[in-house]
Amino acid sequence: MTTTSRTGDVGPAAPGRAPALLRTAAELDALPRPTGAERAVVMTMGALHEGHAALIRAARTAAGRDGQVVATVFVNPLQFGEAADLDRYPRTLDADLEIAAAAGADAVFAPGVDEVYPGGEPQVRITAGPMGERLEGAARPGHFDGMLTVVAKLLHLTRPDEAFYGQKDAQQLALIRRMVRDLNFGVRITGVPTVRDPDGLALSSRNRFLSTEERHTALALPRALFAARDRLAAQQALHERAKATAPGSDRAAGLNRMGEARAAADAQAVALARPNGAPAAVRAAAQAVLDEAAARGRLPLAVDYLALVDPADFTEIPDDRESGEAILAVAARVGDTRLIDNITLTFGALT
C-alpha cells in the first residue's frame, strides 16, 4: 500500500481508500476542515487491531458522511517508565494505514517524536492528580501525566469536535474526561465498548507478545470479570425473587412451593440482608478465579491488582454499596507481558 502524504482536498473516505498520511503539524493544520460538519479524532499508539478499527468506525458514524475522521499514530515516550518497554512497543505503520482505511479514516497523523516534542521532553506537563496515582498510576508512576500531556497536545493539534477512546483503558478514559472538564477543552469525549476475541480476551496491541500457553493463562482475567458479573446478577435476581414471595420466614417456604427448593436458602439469606450488599461477593468471585489460575496454571499469573472502583474517581467501592455503577478492574503480568481489563457493573438493577 502506498503511504505517500497527500494534503489536498480531503473528503469522506471511501472504504479501503488510502487516508492522507500527515507527518507534521503544518500538514495537519493545512488539512481542510469539513464545511458544515464535524471532525472526529481517534488517538492511538499504532499497532492497530480490531479494537482500534471499532473506534474509527464509531468516529466515522458520529462524523457522518460529510464529516472528517482523523486517526493519530504516535508512540508517546512520556508514557513509558522503562526504555526497554518503549523500544519493545510494536511499530506497524503500513498495516495501521490499511486498517485505518478500511475502517473509514480520512487522514492519519503520524508525527515523529521531534515533531510532538520539539527541543526535547516538555518542561510543562499535565498532572493527573489523585486519580492518576491509583491502580495503573500506582503501578506505573508518571504514566498518566505523560498520557494526559500528549492527549492535550494532540487535541490542540487536531482540534476535533469529538474524540473517541476505548473503555478497555477505563482509567485513562476517566482521566481524559476529567481533564477536558477541569480545563475547559471544547471537545466531546466518547467511550467505545471493549472489543474481545471469541475466547474473551480483550484486544490489545500487547497480545501479540503472548505465546499460546501464556494466552491460555491470560484468559483468567476475563473469566474473573465475567464470574463477578454473573455472581452479581445471580445475587440480585435471588433478591428480586425473594421479594416476590411472602415476607419474613415464609419466603423460603414460598420459594419451595414455586419449585425453587435449591435456591430458597440463598434467597432467604439475601432477602434478609441488604438489598444488594454485593461488592464483597463480587470481589470474592473474581478473586477465586484468579487464585485458581495462579495455583493451577502451568505458567505464572502475577496479579497487580483487582479493584472494584467508582467510575468518577477510581476510589474503592464500599461493601455496603447498594446502587449505582462500578468498574471492576484487573491488571496482571503473564510472562513478560502486562495486561489490563475491566467491566462495568450496575448495583441495584437486574443485569
| Active site positions, annotated | 52
Give the whole-angstrom CA distance, residue 62 versus residue 56: 10
Q: CA nearest 341: which of 116, 167, 119, 138?
A: 167
Instruction: Give Cβ neighbours of residue 195 (< 8 Å, ≥ 6 apart).
Output: 50, 51, 54, 166, 168, 202, 203
DSSP states of 276-335 as a string? T--HHHHHHHHHHHHHHHHHH-SS-EEEEEEEEE-TTT-PBPPTT--SEEEEEEEEEEET
**Distance, C-alpha 161 to centroid of its chain:** 21
- Beta strands 188-192 and 68-73 are unpaired
User: What angle (nearest 5°) sits at the alpha carbon of residue 288, between those of residues 283 and 294?
Assistant: 125
